[in-house]
Chain A
Amino acid sequence: MARITLNDVRKSYAGNQVIHGITTQIADGEFVVIVGPSGCGKSTLLRMVAGLEAISAGTVEIGGKVVNDLEPRQRDIAMVFQNYALYPHMSVRENMAYGLKIARLPKAEIEARVAKAATMLELQPYLDRKPRALSGGQRQRVAMGRALVREPAALLLDEPLSNLDAKLRVQMRLQIKEMHLRTGQTTLYVTHDQVEAMTLADRLIVMNKGVAEQIATPLEVYERPASEFVAGFIGSPAMNIVPVQAAKGHVTLPGGVELRLPAAPRTGALRLGLRPEHLRAAEPGEPAIPVLLRSVERLGADAFGYGMIEGSDEPLVLRLPGTSGLGRGDRVEVVPDPAHLHFFDPQDGRRIGD
């Protein structure tokens, strides 16, 4: 158990900076998820904490000790790899015991720890099998078990569920969450999947192009995204971003619709973020956004309408009731919920106002 402190951590390859100074603290027992699109540097950041990549500048502390110059084995961490990295020539038992044997733990202790992890992960029947005789989900659990038996100060997971099919992924996600509640392990988890990020994290680090765009709780990230990038990345379907002209007391949307929105933080060109779930059908006579639907996706409980603001080619996604009879070519009028408006600066994409 330990906390992890990142202090202006940077990474460059041959003078080319790919991670631009990340600072945060991960509390003892906290579950932090680093989320971002592929190539944003999230795995690199994790590998720097693990000691698999050199840290170009800044410091990483684990348990109050700067570990920049320590080998991975001196950092008291365990890691689960995306491809699991199980030793193919060893049985499940040997895989899990490998690190413990190196640590010269007594034999009985190794046995006990492996048995405990195997029970928790329901791997008891497979202990003597080789990894290649296991299914993807079982391999993933062995990888988890191998990390957990070492009882490390911090647990690092690099996209551990991305090689599983959708159903298994949901199941393993719940299992990981449960395991964290049980062990209270300080955990750093990398994923590109926003659902995993939202459901698992105590706190999110949303990364884009080597920059931490926002570090906050999942709810905060959803409710007050710090930038247009975060707004578009977290939430499904993604938030609508519409260019608007703000004047005192109202904004003008593409297509010439004027909405009375007293909340606009400043006048001039702005970008307005509207989540599909925060657009409701207009009452008769109410000033509203007219939308021409191009297609409707029905998911059962909900349906999502994809259309354009009338008089422009600005796309807009709406959440409709699952029973909605609307379809292609229909015209709907919607009103944004004034409590859930997001304004972004058109130049740097940062959030403006509250």
Chain B
Amino acid sequence: MRRTVFPHKLLPWLLLAPQLAITLIFFYWPAGQAFRQSLLREDAFGLKSTFVGLANFRKVLGDPNYLNSVRVTAVFSVLVAFCAMAIALFLAVQAEKIIRGRGFYRTLMIWPYAVAPAIAGMLWLFMFNPSFGTLAWPLRQLGLYWNPLLDGEQAMTLVVAAATWKQISYNFLFFVAGLQAIPRSLLEAAAIDGASRRHAFWTIAFPLLAPTTFFLLVVNTVYALFDTFGIIHAVTGGGPGKATETLVYKVYNDGFVNLIMGDSAAQSVILMVIVIALTAFQFRFIERRVHYG
């Protein structure tokens, strides 16, 4: 790598300053605040706070509601990441086969990504609300007792579907690019070597897609953990009961609805640790098996 030496000592810092300022103000400062707050307990009116050490953490980790939220988050994240990636890969492979109008289909596939999460959530709500949903009635006609307002599993299915739907576009884009980067001659060589299309996909294309898949795995996990707040808020509000209350949603609920700042801050800190650990784990153990061509 080339090293550029600046004649002035201050100039590099000045050039970095805007980025550093943004990171400090919007990331380190709130994170520091959350950390500080997680060690304090506020009175009911928010007038004074007392230092309580790790009591908030002890309380949160002993709370069965919190453990339920961990379970909900795990189920939700795994389902969203897996479905969004699997469906996107399938669609990308299908789009590769199209000869005429390929660009048209690709553009259509990418549109949902431009939809804001809350609006995507409302869209799904309008389609599947048990009383006025456009698709709820046909579902009931099919003999399915459809009521995500009462049935936790159906509510989970609905938010997973909405969150997946929104992320498919993004994954699709990357998988299409990844597939295009695979030299055609490799698949031709496989075809001549006797591989069926399916076999060639699983033994040649899929392993060569590994860098893309790994990148998307990290991105999708973070997406499912954090960026799905809007969808959950619009579709189920964490309910029924606490069936779709993910960790992020619980942070919001406890902090801004129930105004238990200490608990909420402690949860934020735990969430931060979980994400850092998860990402580190992915890089440490999965990336090793990734072949960068």
Contact = CB atoms under 8 A, between A and B. Distances in A.
Contact of B193 (A83, A89, A99, A132): A99
B191 interface: yes
A351 interface: no
A71 B191 contact: yes
A140 to B, nearest CB: 14
Contacts of B293: 88-89, 132
A180 to B, nearest CB: 19
Nearest to B204: A87
Nearest to A98: B193
Interface string A70-109: 0111000111010101111100000000110011000000
A139 to B, nearest CB: 13
A83 B183 contact: yes
B190 A98 contact: yes
Given A52-B191, A102-B193, A85 B207 contact: no
A86 B293 CA distance: 12
B189 A81 contact: yes
A128 B116 CA distance: 50
Interface string B210-222: 1000000000000
Interface string A38-73: 000000000000111000000000000000000111
A33 B29 CA distance: 72
A81 B185 contact: yes
**Interface residues of B, dominant DSSP:** helix
A73 B195 contact: yes
Interface in B158-209: 183, 185-186, 188-196, 199, 203-204, 207-208
Given A85-B186, A89-B208, A79 B192 contact: yes
Interface residues of B, number: 20
Nearest to A79: B192
A249 B185 CA distance: 58
A71 B195 CA distance: 10
A319 interface: no
B195 A85 contact: no
B194 A85 contact: no
A132 B193 CA distance: 21
B2 interface: no
Nearest to A158: B185
A129 to B, nearest CB: 14
B9 interface: no
B184 to A, nearest CB: 9
B3 interface: no
Nearest to B182: A88
A146 interface: yes
A150 B208 contact: no
A52 B185 CA distance: 10
B186 A73 contact: no
Contacts of B195: 73, 98-99, 102
Contacts of B192: 50-52, 72-73, 77-79, 99
A72 B191 contact: yes
B291 interface: yes
A63 B196 CA distance: 22
Interface in A327-347: none
Nearest to A71: B191
B188 A89 contact: no
Contacts of B207: 89
B287 to A, nearest CB: 15
A81 B193 CA distance: 12
A102 B193 CA distance: 8
Contacts of A72: 188, 191-192
B291 to A, nearest CB: 4
A87 B208 CA distance: 9
Contacts of B183: 83, 85
Contacts of A77: 192
Contacts of A86: 189
Nearest to B291: A89
A103 B185 contact: no
Contact of A73 (B185, B196, B203, B208): B196
14 contacts: A50-B192, A73-B193, A85-B183, A85-B188, A87-B186, A87-B190, A87-B204, A88-B208, A89-B208, A89-B291, A89-B293, A99-B192, A132-B293, A150-B193
Interface of A: 50-52, 71-73, 77-79, 81, 83, 85-89, 98-99, 102-103, 132, 146, 150
Interface of B: 183, 185-186, 188-196, 199, 203-204, 207-208, 210, 291, 293
